[in-house]
Structures are given as C-alpha cells and as structure tokens.
Copies of this chain bind each other. A is one copy, B any other.
Amino acid sequence: MEVRRIEPCCAPITDEALSAEQSQELARAFKVLSDPVRLRLLSLATAAPTGEIRAADLVAPLGRSQPTVSHHLSVLADAGLLLRDQRGREAWFRPVQERLAVLRAALGE
C-alpha cells in the first residue's frame, strides 16, 4: 500500500491550505485508518488489559485468515501506529498513542 511512517507534516487543515505534497502524505496516513480490520486491530490493541496483543489471538475474533491479519498488522506497524515486539516465535504489538495524536492534530484544534 506504500505505507510510510506517520509524521507531523503540516498545520491543521482547518488553519491553512495544504500543498500537493502535504495532502498526499496526509492521505496516505488516513488510508491506513480506512479499513475496518485495521481499525479493530488498533482498538483491540489499545483496549487490551496488558496494553499489548499477540497476533495469533486476533485471527479468530476478526474472522479473517492468518495471512490477512498478518498483512494488516504490518501496515499498522509500518505506519508507526503499532510497535512490533518479537518474542521468539510470537509477535506482540502495542499501540503508539503519539502517532494517533499526529492525525488528530491534523484534523484541527
């Protein structure tokens, strides 16, 4: 999907007009959030009691195949929204609040 790490790129879109490059970068970021599976993964990671989730535990609740879940986790990790922690053969993920904050800030206020 051509995912890039989400970085602060511009003033809130309520403040001033975006350049072509800025709008492209922001659009890429929002595209990461534009899939229901990824949003659920993100919310499940945040809602987890321990603050982290294991990839294998997500396949059943999401009703998607293991490769599909793995794919979406990679997209979220590439964007910096999830931090991957490999422990032996298991992959654990925890959310990175600062990345979400970047997008929230881009929406104004």
Contacts and interface: CB of A to CB of B under 8 A. Distances in A.
Interface in A34-63: 34-40, 42-44, 46-47
A2 interface: no
A20 B36 contact: yes
Contact of A17 (B27, B35, B37, B43): B43
- Binding site secondary structure of chain A: helix
B40 A20 contact: yes
A39 B27 contact: yes
A83 interface: no
Interface residues of A, number: 36
B30 A18 contact: no
A97 interface: yes
Contacts of A44: 17
Contacts of A36: 20, 23-24, 26-27
A90 B5 CA distance: 40
A91 interface: no
Closest 6 CB pairs of A and B: A31-B34, A23-B36, A13-B43, A17-B47, A27-B36, A30-B33
